[in-house]
Structure 1
Amino acid sequence: MSSTALSFQADQETLQTLDQLASATGRDRQYHLQQALSRYLESEMRQIRDISDGIADAEAGNLTDIESVRAGWVKRADNSPD
């Protein structure tokens, strides 16, 4: 897979933390930035898919009434060890 250079601004504290991580793991900045970006994008895309799935369910009429939701939460709270 080909790659394209990407640049952005980071504050000094973030750079110091990144450098500490790189030093501790024996990996370079680029490796950690790629890992972080990949995980972030995966998480954000999962959230977008989940929202889209929820909207599709709602549009299809697959809804739960508020009283059922409330009863489930009350039951859960009643069974809580706290």
Structure 2
Amino acid sequence: MTTILLTFRANDRLVRALDLIASTTGKSHQHHLNRALTGYVKAELANLQAIAEGIIDADAGQLISIENALATLGVRGKNHV
């Protein structure tokens, strides 16, 4: 697998927390940053996929009412719209 060097700025509080994690676990900053970035990218791609599927459903007229959507989510009451 090819690797690419990324450079970015992070606030000092975040960097200090990363330092603590790395020193406590004995694993490199790179290890922890790769794990964090992998999780973030995976979650964001899943969100984008869900949005794309929702748009396809909406374009096909496959919609449900807000009441049914809230009921599916288990939300009760009238103050959620």
Runs of 4+ in structure 1 off by over 4 angstroms are none
Give structure 1 stretches of 5+ with no counterpart: none
Determine the structure 1 residue equivalent to 2:13: 13
Cα distance between partner residues in 2 of 1:34 and 1:66: 39
TM-score, with structure 1 as normaliser:
0.79
User: Larger Cα Rg: Structure 1 or Structure 2?
Assistant: 1
Q: Percent identity?
A: 36
Alignment coverage as a number of residue pairs:
76
Cα distance between partner residues in 2 of 1:6 and 1:66: 43
Distance apart, 1:76 and its partner CA:
5.4
Determine the structure 1 residue equivalent to 2:41: 41
Q: Counting helix residues as a fraction of each chain, which structure ranks higher?
A: 1
Give structure 2 stretches of 5+ with no counterpart: none
Instruction: Give the superposed CA RMSD.
Output: 2.1
| Superposition map of 1:21-40 within 5 A | 21-40=21-40
TM-score, with structure 2 as normaliser:
0.80
